[in-house]
Every structure is written in structure tokens, then in C-alpha cells.
Structure 1
Amino acid sequence: MNTIQMKAFGKVNLGLDVVRRRADGYHEVRMIMQTVQLFDKVSIEKRSKAGIRIKTNLPFLPVNANNIAYKAAKMLMDEFGIQAGVAIDIEKHIPVAAGMAGGSTDGAAVLYGINRLFNLGLSKRQLMERGVKLGADVPYCILRGTVLSEGIGEILTPVKALPDCHILIAKPPVSVSTKYVYEHLKLDDSIRHPDIDGMVAALKNGDLSGVTSRMGNVLESVTAVKHPEIEAIKQTMIREGALGALMSGSGPTVFGIFDDKEKGKQAREILKQGTLARQVYLVRPYNIRPYHK
């Protein structure tokens, strides 16, 4: 095998709670992560010339050591003494800096791809252990599916899959720094914490409305205040029939869950015609488990 092509799927957070800020500055979280059928295309080709070459369809993305895909390739190539080079092509479709793990999922795909191309024999668990060194979301992007995430995001427990539905994704024309959001998060009595345990129970029972009625994201207390278009997009989705709508991750992407495809399509067209969102997609959950066992 000299070339491998992969789909690197994005995610949304059905629920995101921050439990506390630790003494080391990291935040402990409890989240329900859900892979969605919106993906980047990542291909890796072996080259006889040493080195790592990155290409992408977005001119503003770094194609050097600042790209997480580059870091992922270098990590494994250094560890295993790989002398050959690789050419990595990334066709981006997941919104950038949007709370959907677009960079992390590309990094996860590269870890998997290098492992396969060079027959390194790393297991899923071993890839996840390396992935957390690149970013907290990378292990999840290797695991994929519907997952309870705890700790700083590295403790992952698969839960029963989200019932089939239609997920409308809309990214307003702003970008958000995750670092900024966490630095400005105030965990005081005004914060409404989502019912993560209740959401897990609803998933176990296949209760879609039980999931959507419990959706919540404490980071909205920072991002949505700074960017009021987030709340406006949520209200548009609810008005058009979404069972629930929420900001994903640190934002600014908003998603709405619909049990009626036509209502989802109508909401998509309304958002496309307006000025609130620049990128709008109607997708479904993606519940195929990890790249490999």
C-alpha cells in the first residue's frame, strides 16, 4: 500500500458541562460527543524523498509544523524511525475554528493512516494514547460514535447511539478561540449545568426527545454573549421545528436536531438565505465505530 484515503468526520456536543477548574489550569468536563456525517477528505501518499508535505484547499490554513496533521505524522515517523516521506492532502469541509473538532479529526486520520501505510501495528488504544498528546479531542476522533467524555476529555466511554435523526449545522461568520472561552468561563451559581446522566439514560432508552430536552452547553455563557448571532440561529432552528438547538464545543457553530427531514431542509434554506450563517449543512449522525479495533 502506497496511498490511503480517509474520511475524517466532525462532531457536535449533545451536552457539555464543565465540572471544575483544576489547579494545573485544565478544566474537567463531562460531555456527550456525537460524530456527524460531515467530513474532511484526507489522503496520505508515501514518498521516496524524506519529509512531510501538507496541501489543503484552504489557503489560510498552515501547511507546516503548526498543522496538527503535520504534528501527527511527525510523531509516529519520529517514534518509529521512518525514513521515507509522506504527502498529505486535506480537503476541508468541516468548518474551521468552529467547535466541531475539524483539526483534531484530521490529526486522528493521519495517525490512523501512517499506522496503516507503514504497518506499525498500533492498536486503537495505542493510537488514542498518542493522540491525546496532540489535542484533547483527538482520541475521541479515533474512537468516534456516541461517547461520554470525562476528565479533560481523555476518559471516553461509548454509550448507546443517538437515534437516527437529521442534524442541521450552521456556522456564523466568526471564529472563536477555545483558549479564550475557557479563560473567561465563570463557574458560579448562574451557570445552568446540563443533565449529562439523564442524557445517557435517554440514549440508552432510544428516547430522542429525552436527549434534546436535556441538551446544554455551559460554554454558551461566554461565546453566545460575545456573539449574539449564536442565539439567533438557535431560535431560528427551534422556530422551524428543531427538537433542540445548541452551540457545539466552544462554538460558534450551532446545530439543531430534527425528527422531520423536511423541517430540517426548510430551516436550512432559511439560514442559507439570511446573514446569520455562512456555512449550513443538513446531515445525520454517524455511528460507525472506530477506524479499526
Structure 2
Amino acid sequence: MRIRAYGKINLYLQVLDKFPRGKRGYHRLQTIYQTIGLYDEIILSQSEGPEIEISCDHPLVPQGPKNLVYKAVSLLRKYAGVKRGINIEIVKKIPVGAGLGGGSSDAAATLQGLNRLWKLNYTRNTLLPISAQLGCDVPFFLYGHTVLGEGYGEVITPLPGIKNKWVLLVKPDFVLSTKWVYEHLGKIRLTEPINIIKIKTRHSQYGRKRGSSLPGSSLLTIGKIRKILKDGVEKLLYNRLEEVTIAYYPIISQIKKELLEGGADCALMSGSGPTVFALLKDQRLGKKLQQRMEKYKFSTWLVKTV
């Protein structure tokens, strides 16, 4: 069985206060996910023994118990009372440590694939709490398309879809740990470098006020989100984590500046970074910007929303 595990961008990402002690210690989020046409492939095949065998063509992806796909199999087997083994091959196309959700998408695709392969017939609502144990992005990938994620990511609300929008992904030549980014959140304050990367639409009117502290950050209502999406997704874009990444890696700011000067409607870092995405009016502009960014030796992908 071969499954596509699509990547994502975050159109909006607000980080709120931490969960109380005893509730995992993670930050509460409000984020709007969007799947994109860049994907890994997950190949599942039955095993005669009880072992979970993971293989991957990327050197940075662990192939044992530390792999999120391995953990997904273990949790599903425990929940379902299944003891059979499985061979899983991961063909990586989504860059690792890029803020595009590759590992989380692989885990979600594995849950969905095994649900069919093992004929468990679980509903998505049954798989949701299992996926939430794997990370805040995994529940979203059980849904895909355009989705609001809240809480630790396990509270999911589908939104009006943003289909067939051209997206250019630009990744500088380094990876970022999500853990590192969150550890540094709150250690810096919003400073002038953010002003270098003017978004053509002032997203701050919809998100937190400039300079507001993390615990006081505000939430968007479903009604306001739907209104903004109706007016144009460009008005929604915001990522709280940009403050951290740009403070330590100002190249992110320069990528955004290049994309906007080149004609992109808007540009934003996805997730914990370092990938920056630009929303585009057509493929022609995408190819033009792709050439512009590749001269700086950045990795680029021109894809559509799905």
C-alpha cells in the first residue's frame, strides 16, 4: 500500500500560555493549517513477524523507535490489540526540519494506512486521540485541506478550503528544531527587524497587538476567521514564531523581503521554520520568483494548495 503524506504551511500561528503543570507542559496554540502539494510517500507492506521495520532514504530520519511513524504504529497496535508486524518505507520529498510538517504527516498517513490495511475500520474521531499523543500537528493531517487547530492541536475545526492557490516554498540551508524555537519563545521581544518584512496587509489587526506578552495573546473567533478568509487569505497571515527565528536567523527576513519585492502577494515563515512561503497570483510569477531565489542557493518548491 502506497500513501501520499502531504506537507503543510501555517497561514496563522498564535502561541498562547502554557498548559498547567501536569498537562504536558506544552504551549496552547491557535493555528490555521493548509495542506500543500509537496508530499512524502509511505509504503506499507505486511510482515510475517511481529517487528516494526522502518526504512527511509533520508540520513536525518531515524529508523527505529525514535521515528514518529514507529511511535504511531506502536500506539495503534496497543489500542487495537494487534500484534502483527509491518514494514514501512518512507520516501522523503518534504525537507526535514523545515516547518512543513513532514514527520507529523508521515505519522498521520501511517495511522490511516494501517487502519485500512489491518481492516480496523476506525473512524477519524477514533484515530484523533491517538494522533494527539504523537504531536500537535498530527491531528490536523487526519483532515487535511484548510483547518483551524486549537489547544495542543487536537481541537480541529475544518474551514472553507483554499484550493489551487500557487505557493512558492523557499528554504535556507539549515534546519530548525521545533523544541529549540519554543524554548526561545518569550526570551526575546518584538524589535525593529520585524518591520523590515512588511506584509502588504497588516495582519497585526487580527492577531495579537504589537509588543503584547505571550499570556495575554488574543484568540480569533471562528466568525472572524471566516470573514477574513472571505476577504482574502492574505489578510490573515501571522506567525508568532517568526520573532524567535528572525532574531537568530535574519536571513528569514531577507527571504521575505526578496519575495515581496519580486511581486508576491505576501510572505510568511511556516511553523517553526525556517521555510518561508509566498502566496502567488499565478504560476508564471512563481517561476520568476523561483529563479530569483535559486540564485541565492536556496532550495525552492513551486506547488499548489490541496
TM-score (norm 2): 0.85
Work out whether 1:232 is the aligned partner of 2:254: yes
Which of 242, 250, 273 pairs up with 2:272?
Answer: 250
In structure 1, what is the equivalent of residue 200 of structure 2? none
CA distance 1:41–1:123, shift in 2 (3 Å) = same
The structure-2 alpha-carbon separation of the partners of 1:81 and 1:13, relative to structure 1 and needing over 3 Å to count, comes to: same
Provide closer, same or farther for how the CA distance between residues 173 and 194 of structure 1 changes in structure 2, counting only shifts above 3 A: farther
Match of 1:219 among 241, 249, 253: 241
Q: Are residues 1:168 and 2:168 paired?
A: yes
Letter in 2 for 1:233: I
After superposing the two structures, state which structure 1 stretch, 218-227 or 159-168, moved more: 159-168
In the other structure, the counterpart of 1:74 is 74
- Aligned AA (1:111): L
Residue 116 of structure 2 corresponds to which residue in structure 1? Answer: 116
Residues 252-291 of structure 1 mapped to structure 2, 5 A cutoff: 252-275=274-297, 277=298, 279-286=299-306
Corresponding position: 1:14 with 2:11 = yes
Gaps of 5+ in 2: 192-203, 208-219
Whichever residue aligns with residue 293 of structure 2, its letter is L
**1:130 corresponding residue in structure 2:** 130
Residue aligning to 2:210? none
Shift of 1:45: 0.2
After TM superposition, the structure 1 stretch with the greater mean CA deviation from structure 2, 18-27 or 94-103, is 18-27
Residue 102 (structure 1) aligned with residue 128 (structure 2) = no
1:16 aligned counterpart, secondary structure: strand
In 1, the alpha carbon distance for the partners of 2:76 and 2:156 equals: 23
Is the 1:193–1:217 Cα contact (8 Å) retained in structure 2? no
Which residue of the partner structure matches residue 50 of structure 1? 50
Distance 1:170 1:216, change over 3 A: same
Offset from partner CA, 1:5-62 (integer Å, 9 cap, x none): 1000010000111122333332122111100011001010001122011111112311
The structural deviation recorded for 1:214 is 3.0
1:202 to 2:199 alignment: no
Which letter does structure 2 place at the counterpart of 1:11? K
Query: Given that residues 108 and 131 in structure 1 are in contact (C-alpha distance below 8 angstroms), is that contact kept between their aligned partners in structure 2?
Result: yes
Shift of 1:202: 2.6
Counterpart residue type for residue 296 of structure 2: G
CA distance in 2, matches of 1:133, 1:77: 14
- Could you say what the CA RMSD is over the residues aligned between the two structures, in angstroms? 1.9
Tell me the secondary structure at the aligned position of residue 250 of structure 1: coil
Query: Deviation string for 1:215-247 (max 9, x for gaps)?
Result: 111101101111111111111111111111000
Q: 2:268, 2:278 within 8 Å by CA — same for their partners in 1? A: yes
How many residue pairs get aligned? The number is 277
Distance in 2, matches of 1:22 and 1:75, equals: 23
Percent of pairs identical after alignment?
Answer: 37
1:199 is displaced (CA, Å) by 4.3
Query: Given the two structures, how large is their TM-score scaled by the length of structure 1?
Result: 0.89
Following the alignment from structure 2 to structure 1, what is the Cα–Cα distance between the partners of residues 47 and 149? 37
Which amino acid counterpart does residue 280 of structure 1 have in structure 2?
Answer: T
Contact 1:17 1:193 in 2 (8 A): no
Distance in 1, Cα, partners of 2:116 & 2:280: 37
Query: Please, which runs of 5 or more residues in structure 1 have no aligned partner?
Result: 287-293
- Letter matched to residue 202 of structure 1: I
